[in-house]
Amino acid sequence: MFRFFENLVDPYVAYTETDTPPRRLWPFMAGYARPFRKVFAVTTFFSVTIAFIEIGLLWYLGRLVDLLDETGMQSFWAEHWHEMAAAALFLLVLRPVLQFLDVGLINNAIMPNFGTLIRWRAHRHVLRQSVGWYENDFAGRIANRIMQTPPAAGEAVFQIFDALTFSIAYIVGAGVLLMGADLRLVLPMILWLLLYMALLRWTITRVGPASKEASDARSAVTGRVVDAYTNIHSVKLFAQQDLETDYAREAIEYARETFQKEMRIFTVMDLCLVALNGFLIVAVVGWSIWLWSVGSASVGIVAAASALVLRLNAMTGWIMWAVSSFFRNLGVVAEGMETIAQPITLTDAPDARPLDFREGRIEIKGVSHHYGRGQGGLDHLSLTIAPGEKIGLVGRSGSGKSTLVKLLLRFYDPEGGTIRIDGQDITRVTQDSLRARIGMVQQDTALLHRSVRENILYGRPGATEAEMIAACDRAEASGFIASLADAEGRQGFDARVGERGVKLSGGQRQRIAIARVILKDAPILVLDEATSALDSEVEASIQETLYGMMTGKTVIAIAHRLSTIAQMDRIVVMDDGKIVEEGTHAALLAQGGLYAGFWARQSGGFIGTEDDAAE
């Protein structure tokens, strides 16, 4: 039975992705709610039905009191046993069935699936964002918004059907019941309702912004805490636990202050609500007793009216809390939209096709990119790399080497100029097909917090076990992999490597990264200080592997250790975003220019500059 409700909506149903999600709250929610429209309609019907049943029970209580008063003990059962049996059957069978359908739709069809659908689609949307987009925010804050927005949206929908729809139907039914008994009884309820709506409006106008501010503050706390955990080695290395504690405390204190402001609203709301409910009880019950005393109302009417207002007294706090919770959760959703609803700016062209790779010619013409700052990056750079040619990129930190590689991978679009592969503008081909043709080993290798096997197969998920092992052998990684073990007892290829590969040494991470790229076997190879984390003995072995990998490929190798690129077909020297020298190692030494100066100054094979982390 539960499966029936749980399968009414598939949270992973196919949908049309958009690069520009709605930036306003209600259209944003409506887009996610579209697969639930039929379920929402049926749930509304049952929620209203349950509310009217509750009102009907109070009406029947009044009728039962009148029947007892009019009939007497001797003849009551003889005259009304059929009615009592029907009422008992309704309460024992039909009402539970209707209630089960109502809660089954809410708890089993909507709640698990609505949040799942939002989280799934939001995650897919965020994964499509560019690298530059991620570089402008905390990973922790992005993740926090992805995690907290779906349950908040689900809770808001829950309140609509569990409280708001029910309460509106209940209040309407209560008004009808009182009007049917005596029109004058509805007057104090109308006055109470007006005051109640005023209090509700006061609460809503304040709780939404307050909740959004509090939610944003919580996301900031998550961002700062995760930032410290992610960089725990730096925290420990520089003994800055106190600095990180103070940094987090600042955000935690601000989160506390915003939450205090939010809770003050609810305290005022509760005090006003108690006063309003006291007025409702005194006005309706008192008036119904007065009507009875003058012969205008029966005892049953007094009983029904009293039960009704006492029920409303119990419900009003719940309704107020549900409504405020509804808008509080919408505030959380609004805060999450600052991440989830951001448009994707780096997209495939509408007519983009997969890259038709033929030979691997790379043509860079007049490319400029300054990250929107007007300086740094590249400045009208032109470079042609022939199919199968192997070039080395050399230059000081900030000269534009890493920027050039990021543009080739289309992590950014150039602000001017074009990059073509085999004559095709890379902005006119699909991003996935472009990157599938490029293998890259970076200087700072970050692994996924998964098994060694999963990390290596990331290069080519369909590879066989034998192909994976062969790649590890070529990367000189098989030896240390066999000795790996994690805290859960997994060993070898099944061992987990920790977040960003923290359980492995830098050299081990680098060799796994090299194995991954060997397995990918892409025709264009980019090496960004690929051997910088290796010791000399392993590097010498890996260097031979890398040269083997280069066979038949177009290669771009960035290096500060000039000895690693001395054998390249051509060396390109960059400075201030431009190419200032190019030629073979011997030719550049003969020129006596910038490259020759690097070679003369290097110590242990390195250029005497910082790395390219700042590029």
Q: Please report the pLDDT score of residue 231 as a whole number.
A: 82
Does 568 fall in a domain? no
CA atoms within 13 A on the CB side of 253: 6
* Cβ neighbours of residue 570 closer than 8 Å, sequence gap 6 or more: 389, 390, 391, 392, 582, 583, 584
Residue 378 lies inside a defined structural domain of this protein: no
For 318, phi then psi, to 5°, come to -65, -45
The residue type of 401 is: K
Domain holding 453, by residue range, is 445-521
What residues contact residue 166 under an 8 Å CB cut-off, 6+ apart?
47, 48, 50, 51
Mean pLDDT, the chain cut into blocks of 10 residues (615 residues total): 90 90 87 92 90 80 78 78 88 91 91 91 90 81 85 85 76 75 76 84 82 84 85 81 90 92 86 84 82 78 77 72 77 84 89 93 94 78 94 88 92 93 95 93 82 92 93 89 88 88 82 90 88 64 76 88 84 92 92 88 51 39
**164 & 20 share domain:** yes
The Cβ of residue 118 has, within 10 Å, a number of other Cβ atoms equal to 26
- Same domain? 65 vs 181: yes
Strand order in the sheet with 378-385: 378-385, 362-369, 416-421, 424-425
Q: What are phi and psi of 557, to 5 degrees?
A: -120, 120
C-alpha Rg value of the chain to the nearest Å:
35
Model pTM?
Answer: 0.75
Of the three residues 273, 307, 340, the one that is the final residue of a domain is 340
Q: 302 and 144 in contact (C-beta within 8 Å)? A: no
Helix (H, G, I), strand (E, B) or coil at 584: coil
* Domain identity same for 474 and 336: no
Q: Determine whether 254 is exposed, middle or buried from the number of CB atoms within 10 Å of its CB (0-12, 13-18, 19+).
A: middle
Sequence-ordered list of residues with C-beta below 8 angstroms from that of 82, at least 6 positions apart, any chain: none
- Do the domain assignments include residue 398? no
Please spell the DSSP secondary structure of 403-419, one letter per residue. Answer: HHHHHHTTSS--SEEEE
> What tokens were used for 32?
């996610």
CA dihedral angle for residue 389, residue 390, residue 391, residue 397, rounded to 10 degrees: 140
In a domain, 216, yes or no: yes
Q: Clarify whether residues 306 and 451 are in a common domain.
A: no
218 vs 312: CA distance, rounded Å: 35
| Residue count (the chain) | 615
Within-domain flag for 559: no
Structural domains counted in the chain = 2
Considering the domain boundaries, does residue 550 fall inside one?
no
Q: For residues 282 and 255, what is the distance between their CA atoms, to the nearest angstrom? A: 41
Amino acid found at 498:
G
The CA angle 428-434-435, to the nearest 5 degrees, is 145
Domain membership flag for residue 496: yes
The DSSP code for 460 is: -
CATH assignment of the domain containing 503: 3.40.50.300
3-state helix, strand, coil in the chain (%, to 5): 65, 10, 25
Bridge partners (DSSP) listed for residue 491 = 485
CA atoms within 13 A on the CB side of 145: 26
Hey, how many other C-beta atoms are within 10 angstroms of the C-beta on 306?
18
CB 120, CB 112: distance < 8 Å: no
Q: How do residues 450-509 score in pLDDT, each as one tens digit?
A: 899 999 999 999 999 999 999 999 888 898 999 989 888 889 999 998 887 878 887 888
Rounded Cα gap, residues 585 and 591, in angstroms: 10
Domain holding 99: CATH number?
1.20.1560.10
Residue 263 makes CB contacts below 8 A (sequence gap 6+) with none
- What's the rounded Cα separation, in Å, for the pair 432 and 425? 14
- Domain termination residue (choose one: 468, 498, 521): 521
Residue 192 CB partners (closer than 8 Å, separation 6+): 276, 279, 280, 283
- The alpha carbon of residue 548 and the mean position of all alpha carbons in its chain are separated, in whole angstroms, by 41
Q: Is residue 204 part of a domain?
A: yes
Which pLDDT value is given to residue 612?
40
451 and 312, same structural domain?
no
Whole-angstrom distance, CA of residue 353 vs CA of residue 169: 55
Are 455 and 319 part of one and the same domain?
Answer: no
The enclosing H or E element of 224 equals helix 186-230
- Among the three residues 492, 521, 550, which one is the final residue of a domain in this structure? 521
Which of these, 329, 31, 334, lies nearest to 153 by C-alpha position? Answer: 329
Q: Using CA of residue 131, residue 137, residue 140, residue 141, what is the dihedral sign?
A: negative
